[in-house]
Amino acid sequence: MLADKIIFTGLQCLGIPYVFNAPSDQTNKFDCSSFIQYIFRANGISLPRNSRQQFEIGLPISFSHIQKGDLLFFTTEKRKNRRGPSKIGHVGIVRP
């Protein structure tokens, strides 16, 4: 299953440092969205660079219907009063 492959790819990156605003196309450091972009691209799926752009191309689903491999988008305290994609400040992936 593709979701399993994507999650496996992500698990291979455990221990790689988190650096805010890390550049794309490298594997020695990630931020949340460059990590998501990398693990999806490694499995044949092209995603935009930042979490707000990733949010905009996705399809919303209810929390009760999330599945392994789905992306979850978060806000941060400083963004909580914004609306729409500008509110997004973090992305993660659902893992069993």
Residue 85 CA to residue 8 CA, distance in Å, equals 28
pLDDT tens digits for 25-39?
Answer: 889 999 999 999 999
Domain that holds residue 30: 2-93
Total domain count, the chain: 1
The per-residue pLDDT for 77 is 67
Q: What is the pTM of this model?
A: 0.87
Alpha carbon 31 to chain centroid, angstroms = 9
Q: What CATH number has the domain bearing residue 75? A: 3.90.1720.10
